Amino acid sequence: MDRTKNEDYKSVLVSSLIAIALLAVFLGLPAIKSPDFLILAMLVLPPLFAFTVASGGYALGALAMALCFGVGYALDGRLAVILAAVCAPFAFAAGYAVRARLRLRHSVMVSGAAALVGVLLGVGALWLMTGQLPVDFLANQLEGSFSGLSDAEVLSLYQLVRIPDLFTGAVTQAALDSAPRADAIAYLVGVFREALNYHLVGMIGCYSLLMGLTGYLIPRALRKKRGNDVAAIPPFAEFSLPRRFWLAFALSYLFAIIGSSYGWPGFAILEVTVLSIYGLVLSVQGLAFLDFLYRRHKIGKAARVVLHALGLIISSMLGNILMWLGLFENIANLRVRMGTKGGVVP
């Protein structure tokens, strides 16, 4: 057995042990079973299993996943099946993209589509096993998580959420201070449920795109670090959307706004979804433009990573300015005007 095969088998073993440890945490600790940690599991586990497939091949990758989720099933059969349905399609697709050394654009398309299929399979598994759709399931999980909070903690959360109502006069401070625990929890769960109803489709779309990109890049980077051949990727500063992408966004958003303003069924959700998905992609363009500027000023890689992290935080606080920067850059083609080639997604 040659050295490369040994390294690949070692990678499969290590990634499988990490996956089992994570599943033991996510599924074995009651305090962890909240919507936030379930979403975290959906973000962490798929790239890990994609690396397993990329390293060991499809048969060994399938065997490793079966072993890992077998352990997970012993801890919480319902959630283990749901997570397996979410992870498996993506792991095979992203693993294939890494092994076949597909170009970045094709890899993101293949991996992103598989991530979407995985979510839909997860939704189907959830409904078959619980009779609930994601909104009801996550709302019930949230409601159950309040059992670990004291009355004072629940009341503080309730008051925090209702601050806008306090300013508009919809509720008084005395009413907030004397709210019963059951009423406060019911209100908080109701707000969560309403927000999820509006944002769920957009969240699924953004998850698929993010997983298609990061869930491919992570196993690719790990394989490259171990000395394996991987597809070349141009510098992030050269990432650029098609020249008329802004027009597709403008027309889609205008269509959604018109339907929403007339009260057409589903168009309020469509408006949020269009803004979420296009906003994510345009934000990546905005970050790429900033990366181009940082490189132009000879800023090192570590400093650029810190600056990008700060940019994401500031953007989230100031109305997603990265999206608007990406939109403006897509319209004005600033990098070409500033003397660089630009182009489209490699």
> Can you say how many angstroms the Cα of residue 281 is from the centroid of all Cα atoms in its chain?
13
pLDDT attached to residue 59: 92
Q: What is the pLDDT of residues 58-71, one digit of tens each?
A: 999 999 999 999 98
- The token pair at 250 is 């403008």
Q: What is the pLDDT of residues 80-137, one digit of tens each?
A: 899 999 999 999 999 999 999 998 889 999 999 999 999 999 999 999 988 888 889 8
- Residue 127 has, within 13 A of its CA and on its CB side, a CA count of 9
pLDDT interval class at 303 (50, 70, 90): very high
Closest CA to 81 of 120, 26, 29, 122: 122
pLDDT at 322 over 90: yes
Share of the chain above pLDDT 70, in %: 95
The mean pLDDT value for 311-328 works out to 89
pLDDT attached to residue 331: 93
To the nearest 10 degrees (0 to 180), the angle between helices 35-75 and 134-145 is 90
Q: Are 90 and 211 in contact (CB under 8 A)?
A: yes
Please give the DSSP secondary-structure letter assigned to residue 260: H
pLDDT attached to residue 76: 84
The mean pLDDT value for 34-48 works out to 80
Q: Are 286 and 322 in contact (CB under 8 A)?
A: yes
pLDDT attached to residue 345: 44
pLDDT at 318 over 90: no
Residue where the block lists tokens 């969560």: 192
pLDDT attached to residue 337: 81
Whole-angstrom distance, CA of residue 140 vs CA of residue 192: 10
pLDDT attached to residue 203: 93
Higher pLDDT, 173 or 208: 208
List helix spans (H) across the chain: 3-28, 35-75, 77-99, 104-130, 134-145, 151-161, 163-168, 173-177, 181-225, 245-261, 267-296, 301-317, 321-332, 334-337
Residue where the block lists tokens 């051949």: 229
pLDDT attached to residue 5: 72
Whole-angstrom distance, CA of residue 304 vs CA of residue 181: 46
* DSSP, residue by residue, 66-78: HHHHHHHHHH-HH
pLDDT at 4 over 80: no
pLDDT attached to residue 248: 95
Does this model's pTM top 0.75? yes
